[in-house]
Every structure is written in C-alpha cells, then in structure tokens.
Structure 1
C-alpha cells in the first residue's frame, strides 16, 4: 500500500482511500477503491461542497478505525470557512459506511450543497496490476440504475457471473443523476447558527463468491465490532507490555485479526483463515496461511485449525493442467474473481506450489487434535510427495516451471529467483533446498502420527526410511564444499545452483542438516554480506545476481527471517538469534511496529532506517506473525 493511503479492512473486504476519504480509480502498484472477492466495487468516491473539493484540515490516520478526516471549504485567514466537514468511514463485511457531519462556524444559518460522485468499474485485481497484460472481458456488461435514495451499479458476464454495488444515502439525497462518469448524489443542507447537520452513505458490495453483507448501520458500530474482534484475538499479557517485542506482537496480532478471511471446511463449516496480504493477496494462500498459522500456533491455535480444514477442503482430487492440480496436492491460492471464474487466469484454485503440501503435514503434526480427522488428507498429501511431487522419480521434491502460472514454485516465486551465482536461472525439474527440508520434516512428523494416532507402524517405518534416505542424500548432493554452504537448488540436470541464499536458514528449522553444518550455516547467515543489520537478505550481497531492490534476489523478508530465527533457536545459536531479533524489532519500530512484507536489502550503514521495497504489501500475514515466531524462538522454542 502507498504511504498516502488509508486502509480499512474487515472479513475479506477492504477499502484503500486517500487521506481525505476519496477514491480516484487509480491502477498500478497501489490501486484505490472498495474491494471484495478480487473485484473493485467502488472506483470513484468524490466529495464536493459548494461545487469544489474541500481542503484537508486533518487527514485520516492509517490504522485508525473509524477513519476520520476533517475537511473544510477553501477560505482565507481573514475570512475562515463557514462550516467544517467531519468525515467518518469504516468497513464491515461487504460494506463501506460513511458518516458526514457538517458543523456551522458562524452565528448565522448557512446553506450547503454537498455532492458525492460514486462509480464502480468492477475491475478484477489482475487487471489493475501494472504488468502490461490485457484481458478480454467478452460479453461483460456494466449497468447503472438510479434509485430514489442512491444508485445500483451492476456487472454481468455470461449467465453465471454478476456483481453489484448499491449506494444509498440517509436521508435520501434530493437529487440523483447519472453523469456518464458516475452517479452524482446531492443534498442541500441547512446549518443553524453554530449548528450542524449530518447524513450517512452506505455502499454494499455483492459478488458470487461473497458471503452475506453485514447489516451494521454506522461507522461507529462497525468500528466497535472490529475493536471487539481484535480485543478477543489479542493476548492481554502482550498488549500490556511496553518492550519492543511486546509492541510488535500486539501490532502483529491486531493485523492478523484484520486479515482473517472467510473460508469453508470439508463438512461445509464456516471458517476464518489468514488471508496473505493487502492489496493483492487477501485470500487463502496455502504456503502463506500455513506458515502464518505455524508462527501463531502457540498463541492462537484456532488459526491453524481453520487453515488445515480449509486446505483439506480444497486439496487436489484430480488432474488439471491449467491449475497445476494433482491428487493430494495442497492448493497454493484460491480466488473467486471474474477472471479466475472464466479461467482467464489459473488462480481460481491454483496448485502451483511445491512446498504447500509438506508444510500442510508439518502443521497438522503440530496441531495434533485434527490428526485423526484429517488422516485421509494427510495420506493423500504424502502420496503426492512420493508420486507427482517427484520424491520417487527424481529423488527430490521438484517443480517444473508453469508457463500458464508461476515459473518458480517455492516461496521465492518470481522469475529468476532460483539461480546460479552468475545469475543464470535454474531450469527444471528444480529441487529447491528448503523444500527438501520441509519434505524431510513432513515425513518424520507424519511417521509419528502414523505410529501414535493412526496405529499404523508399518506406514510409519516406511516414511522414516524415506526420510532418512532423503537426509543422507541431501548432505551429499546439495553441499558446496568450497563455500561450506548448501546450494540454493539442484537444476534438472542435477547441477548445484550455487548462489548463496537465505533458503539455507530454513534447513536449520526443518532439521535436515546435521548439527555441525547447521551451526556453520547459522553463523554464516549473520555475516555482513547476508545480514543487513535489519534482517538476513534473500541473497548475500556481492554476488552477480544481487540487487537490494529485487523481490527475491537481495531484499529482506521478515517471515524468511522468522523461519531462520526458529532454526537458530533449534540449534542453540543464542547470540545469532538475539542479533537477528534485535534487527527485526528495530525494523518493526521504524514501521510503527508493523513489519512490512518485504524491505530493501540496504544495510544500516547505507541508511539509518529500513529502505522500503516499493511494491510491498502491508499489512501482510506472515510478516504480522513474525514477532510471534521471534517470541517463540527467544523462549527456546522452534
């Protein structure tokens, strides 16, 4: 999100507004609007008073709920404004709520003409990105219906796709007209001497993938319900703390409460799972939701329960080349927007992740209460790892670049992220280092479930044998003797991709490395070419492909560092853990205690504050959960 945007979020609905509360229809890396289920339901929201946009006396503060801005008609020092506008806004499930209160500043009555222009372009979020792609909307048709108290914007494509946005004012506007560039709602208000008048506006967004719209009637009530939800999710002993870790944890928990989105379980139960992040990823993501839930597990285990059930309900059951679906595979992301519905993008249910499936098994073991219920899903996940995942055929868990979706399918999922030291991209089938660690951990943990929960010792022995073989071969095939460090990956020809990358830190967490090598890797990650002072870089500086503003080839990701921190704790590297935690908490303090998705790779000697990555999501789920992982690590857990 842009720093000049105000963000309001609840139950999978979010509004990105200007500090004055408006929407301009902006596209690109930080679009504004009212969004639900990947569609922009408001693309214009422009307030004028007496024919002009008011000036901002006090902008709305990002993070404040409700968002309140103070506006006034333009005036001069010797002739101050006749009235002031207090604008209060909040969102609930499928709703943007606005209260406008006009306060007269003079001893005589004042008449004010207030107008609000609203429009809805129903653009899919994939259309709004600045990636240069064009999408054919086919027979998609927009409609506008003027109502006595507002307007209804509609969009229909084919027989089974429709969306609508209904805008209504209370009291009803005295004029409503379609201008061709939006619907103008107008009110003529009379302010008594030093008196006031107010009105409310409600915008309801409905889509095929959305649940019922909230009935909440005012921004204040929506804010109160959200505050109660966040308070219930918080940890009192953290919220009351004043040290850096407590403050970062409190902000992280508040953000995780905001980022929960609706999902459905295997038996149709309604769930709330961590959506990955705003603006592009407010939906269920396998890898993101799993790691977020793992970080939060000791403190908020319900997140893990809901995530496991939602992923079990969407687990692959057949073969679909466009979606990369295979039986037993855990989904990468779930979308319900127009382009996903018509399969113009593969992400309606997209399975192009090589790591979601083993991470599902890791989390299931950590949340033992569900192990018996989800035995069938766990066995299917193991079958995928041994079969289509590549463990039997290739000896490793591998991915092949997907020309329709993601070329890279581990957490560093941008093109070119998995590379050699000279910058050459690894070609498939690609076996990424940290994924082999996840696979090893998943096999060991699932074997324990088989023996202790499912009463199947033969199956347990089989998985333990596969895990032991994987671990032995990993030390032989992935280790770079000259660098004394693991390779980033093996390419399709078995060559070691020799770029030095942060993925090695995940190997400490999963336990695939022996103790001596793990200790050497952990210490190496805290040397200056890796550690910026804020966090460990995705690639060590000084290598040909390193770039501090690259998404995955030199930037710093808090969640990546959270996994590294848990690995350092597992191997007793206390000094390195404290150094890493201090850097991350210093970065959190510089961001108002909210860690962003990703930061630039510049060091503390380059600039006294973390340099922002220009396209970072914030809030973002696994970054929000990172302080909780640090808390666990510093307590000796992993």
Structure 2
C-alpha cells in the first residue's frame, strides 16, 4: 500500500513516487521513492532547499486522476504566520521523464532575495535491488558518470553493453552546479524578487533506459480514451450508484497503467501493466484477467493483450525460463539484472495458468464482440496453446495441468504464487509436483471456449469435438479427485503423490467462475464462501480463518483481494446465487468507498464487524490492474444475465 508520505504519478510505463514536498530522497524498502522507467530508478535524489533549509510543507503533494501533482511550502525559519516567500511546485510524469515548474512568490512589500538549490542524483538501481528481500547482486565493471551541461547535468551508467542515462535540464540555467559529498550534484540559483513579485523555474528530467525506443507521442491507445467517458457505456443498476464512481476511477487507473508493447507483426500497442511500484510491466495472468473483466467495456484492450501475448508465446524449450512450445509468458522485464540473467524474469514463463487464460480470453472476445477476425488471426497461436496444455502442461499424461517449484524463480505458479501459499490447513507447504485446483478450472473453460472457436471461426468440427470430450473428461476427474467429502468443499490442490491438499481457500470461487463444478456442489461451495470465516464484510479471504495456516496479513493465506472476490461474485451469479453475489459486490464497493474508490491490490483479512475501516496490506500495489478492473466485473455479476458465463445445469 502506498505510504501516507508518498505521492504517486504514473503514465506510459514511467512512474514517480515523491514525498509531501515533491522531494525524492532515495528511499528503499516497501515503497522506494524516485523516478522509474523500465525497471530502473532514473532519479534517486531530487531535494529542494531555500536559503540552505528544507521548506515547510503547507499543502502536501497530491495527485488527481492525471499524472500531475502540486504542493505548496514556505522557507524554514522566520515567523510561521508571515513567511517571506511561498514555493509552489507542479510535477508531471510523462513517457520517459518528469517535468517540474517551481514558482517562487514574494509575500513582502519590498524586494527579496533567496537562494534556491536542487540536489539531484540518479543511482540507476534495478527494482529487484530495491525490494526489501536482503539480497545483494554483484555488478562487476559498472561505472557511473556525472557530466555538467550548460543547463544542467547528465548522469550515466554503463556495465559492459548496458548503458542508461538521465538528463536534467533547467530554464533558466543554474548559476552554479556543485558536487556534494555523496556524489550527487546541487544546482543553485540566486533569485531576486521585486515587491510581491514572482519568478518560475522550469525543470525537465529525461530518462534514457537501455534498449528503450524514444517515446512516441502518437502511439495509439488500444482502449481509446480509456481514462475518460465515465463507465465506458456499461449499464449500471439504478440501485448501485457507487458502482459508476468505482468504474470511472478504475478506467482512470487502467489508463495510467498502460505500457507500450509490440504485436506479432511489429505493431505498436499498449497493454495493462500489473501494478505499481513493483510490476509496471506486462504480467500475462494479470493482463488477461484485467481484459476479461473489462471485455464488455473495452474489447480493444483484450485484443491488444491477446496480440502482445501471442507475439511473446514460447516457440522452443528453455528450462531456465520454464519455457515450452506454445506456453504463454508470465512476465517480461527490461532491467539490468534481467538483462544479465541475474534474475530469471526477462522473459519468464513460470505460470501454469496464463496459457488457459489466453484461450479463455480469445474465446470470450469472439463471443462478446461477435467478431471472429482476431480468433482467425491467432488460430495458430491458440492451437499451440492447446498443444502445450496436453503435451507439456500435463493434461495428456496425468489428466491435469501441473507444475514444479522453480528454485530460481517462483515456487508457486498459479495465481497464488508466493512461497508457502499452496499449503495444507495446518500450514505445511505442499511439495513435489503441484496440481492446483484453480488451474484445472481455467483449463476446463479454455477447452470449452476453444471448442466454440473451432466450430464457428475455424470450421473444424472434429477438433471441437475432441476439445469438448477432453473438457468433460477433466470435469469428471476433477469431481472425483478434488472433492473433500468431509468438508463439502474442493481441495486447494493435489500434492506430488496425488493426495488432496485440505486447505479451504478462495480459489473455489474461480472454480465457480469457470463452471467446472456441477450445480449441486457449486451452490454448496458458493454459500460456504459467504460464511464468517471466509467473508470479512469487505470481501472473501484467500484462506478461511478457522485454519492454522490463516494469517490476516499474509499475501495469499488470509488477505482479501478485490479481484479474487469479484471472480467469486461472477461465479456465484453463474450458479444462480444472486443474493450471495450481491453481498460480495456490496462488500467490495464499500471497500472502494473507504479507499477513495481506488481499490488496492489487497487488504488484510480482519473482520469488518470488529474493524470498521479496512486495514491495508502493507505491500499492496496501487494502482493495480485487476483491482482497477474489478468494478467492471461487478457490473457483469449484478446483471440478470451477465458475463458470469452460461448457467450450470
């Protein structure tokens, strides 16, 4: 969760986190401050002083729905009620940089002189270095440079072929540029103001990350004017007016999270990044779920996501990246550590569910839009994805999608991908080959949806019949192998020996969404998800609270995720549990109202009846893509015949 002393500005794959005055101090930890582009911090110091002291903040930096923030401060010292000067700062993030205008106004009736200084630096730290995980990465032969310019300073970083720059310019140019003991540079201006006069400084920071093309001001946005237009034409039930506000904020958040990407034919596109600060990049699972949620509102976003993921689909086997032919990518990174393979995430395929989600979205896009052109264009990619599920994912061998922990990457590769998240009720982690229940639901829906494409778009009835038969077989096996008869609930997973993992988890809501459960069991599961040990009043806990494994501040073993609860709401609607779906939707919207309608990635699992305000999860991304898209999923769950899928017989 963004700390109270940070203001966040994000746009076009670039973001800045600044303090109340607009300063950047070089913090690390849960929320580092700085200017970031392509996984690197391009500005680590940006600190303004007036007459040698730090100004006193009157109005802290606050961002609206755009990428601009304003703050007001006064010089330190003197009488607090009659400061000699007032400093007005306006900061704007743009693709690849930051612009700032500083206006200094005199409050006196006689001429005034002041010395302004701005300390600047760029440490080019990789985001993986800045995480508070206590890891240290060797960076041999790395060289940092600082070169004076007539109007500012240029910072450089080189490590072998890796080269990045940050250029800081000012108008008017500084009177002097000084070195500091830390290696930063201090730009100084002597300002002379007439009585009640004012003057302005214009500052510009341009980040030049390694391998990045220059920003294209005319790059198209697939979702059109994504951040405008209220609810994008999606009808809102009359008795849910706050849903319109949540949708409007969600569109604004999604607009700022769009990042540039490339389609199969080299076309320039924009797709939703997962979230800020750690995931301002394409994560396959997140982009796919976000696009499924917003499909009725912005089908162009789904089309862009499908094209970009098709362009990055694996064609060869690469065990280091968990890549296999036909698999859909989990994560793309552009930073230094990924480039030198010190982290595996440059193009990383450690997700068992991105591939079936790709097929789900492709089928849903054709069904929702009535347009099969994209499905025909991506037929080869879709068939390769199906082939991966059978030949590499595990469907042909053991009847299920499976994964093994990746020692250098992700231990878990379903949506709950944190260490220890796939566990028994007593908290014991599952070892060996893992068969996550949620992935089987996605596989079932993927087979069904792709069978529909085969019949209508590809004119291949035999292939459609094969996929339908495979889906029915998977559904029957799942009912046999995953059901916990003593709990009347599905297991979270199967372990390496095929034993049921007995933790009761919110993943069951995903099974409702995909329709893999029969009607009787599905309705029983849906009602169980509204029991007090699951439902907090804000949403559904990721793990039921009556189990030893539960922790209210655990990322995947107790927190409430709005998107996870929205998936459950869609599933509840699919199984005809309208009252339950509305109860979950109401809790999520109350959470939205309590967080200024910007839904966070997750909140703590504490019950609402004992804690009337939601308790933040301390490391939550915000804005975050599938949280921003959640209100649109709710519009579908609340419609009489919504996007919740066909009713289950």
Whether TM exceeds 0.5 here: the answer is yes
Q: 1:597 to 1:630 in 2, by over 3 A?
A: same
Instruction: Indicate the residue corresponding to 1:178 in structure 2.
Output: 179
The answer to whether the aligner puts 1:264 opposite 2:266 as a matched pair is: no
> Alpha-carbon deviations, 1:126-173, whole Å to 9, x = none?
000000111011111111101111000000111x21110000001111
Residue pairs, 1:271-420, within 5 angstroms: 271-368=269-366, 369=372, 370-420=374-424
Name the counterpart of 1:9: 10
SS at match of 2:320: coil
Counterpart pick for 1:579 among 580, 583, 595? 583
* Number of the residue aligned with 1:166: 167
**Do the aligned residues in 1 keep the contact of 2:447 with 2:470 (CA within 8 Å)?**
yes
Question: What's the offset of the Cα at 1:569?
Answer: 1.1
Q: Which residue number corresponds to residue 567 of structure 1?
A: 571
Secondary structure of the corresponding residue to residue 9 of structure 1: strand
1:515-563 deviations in Å (ceiling 9; x for gaps): 1111110000001010011100001011010010111111111111111
Q: Shift of the alpha carbon at 1:211?
A: 3.0
Residue number in structure 2 paired with 1:60: 61
CA RMSD in angstroms, aligned pairs only: 1.8
1:231 aligns with 2:228: yes
With over 3 angstroms needed to count, the CA separation of the structure-2 counterparts of 1:71 and 1:64, relative to structure 1, is: farther
Decide whether the 8 Å contact of 2:59 with 2:72 is kept in 1.
yes
> Does structure 2 retain, via aligned residues, the 8 Å contact 1:238–1:250?
no
CA distance in 2, matches of 1:545, 1:323: 31
- CA separation in 1, counterparts of 2:560 and 2:397? 34
Q: Say which of 74, 91, 95 aligns to 2:97.
A: 95
Find the residue that maps to 1:16 and give its secondary structure.
Answer: strand
Instruction: Indicate the SS of the match to 1:315.
Output: coil
Query: 2:99 and 2:397 mapped to 1: Cα distance?
Result: 56
Aligned residue for 2:362, secondary structure, equals helix
Q: Provide the C-alpha distance between the structure 1 equivalents of 2:478 and 2:236, rounded to a whole number of angstroms.
A: 43
Partner secondary structure for residue 616 of structure 2:
coil
Q: How does 1:138-153 map to 2 (within 5 A)?
A: 138-153=140-155
Q: 1:544 & 1:229 partners in 2: Cα distance?
A: 43
Aligned partners of 1:204 and 1:213 also within 8 Å: no
CA contact (8 A) 1:166 1:203 kept: yes
Q: How far did residue 240 of structure 1 move?
A: 13
* Contact 2:119 2:187 survives alignment (8 Å): yes
Q: For 2:189 and 2:151, how far apart are their aligned partners in 1?
A: 11
User: 2:418 and 2:360 mapped to 1: Cα distance?
Assistant: 25
Supply the distance in 2 between the matched residues of 1:88 and 1:233 (Cα, whole angstroms).
26
Secondary structure of 1:544's aligned partner: coil
Secondary structure (helix, strand or coil) at the match of 1:445 reads: helix
1:19 correspondence with 2:23: no
How far apart, in 2, do the equivalents of 1:455 and 1:146 lie? 65
* Counterpart for residue 629 of structure 1: 633
Structure 1 regions of 5+ residues with no counterpart?
Answer: 217-226
Match of 2:248 in 1: 250
Corresponding position of 1:457? 461
SS at match of 2:377: coil
Distance 2:217 2:458 in 1: 45
Task: Tell me which residue corresponds to 1:221.
Answer: none
Shift of 1:455: 1.1
1:475–1:117 CA distance, 2 compared to 1 (3 A): same
Unpaired runs of 5+ residues, structure 2, are 219-223, 367-371, 645-649
- State the alpha-carbon separation in 2 of the partners of residues 75 and 87 from structure 1: 20
User: What is the TM-score of this pair, normalised by structure 1?
Assistant: 0.96
User: Deviation at 1:231?
Assistant: 2.2
Give me the whole-angstrom Cα distance separating, in 2, the residues matched to 1:76 and 1:94: 39
Change (3 A) 1:399 1:228: closer
Tell me the matched-pair count: 628
TM-score normalised per structure 2: 0.94
Please report how far the alpha carbon of residue 174 of structure 1 lies from its aligned counterpart in structure 2 after TM superposition. 1.1
Show the counterpart of 1:423.
Answer: 427
1:362-409 Cα deviation digits (max 9, x unpaired)? 000111241000000000000100011011112100111000100000
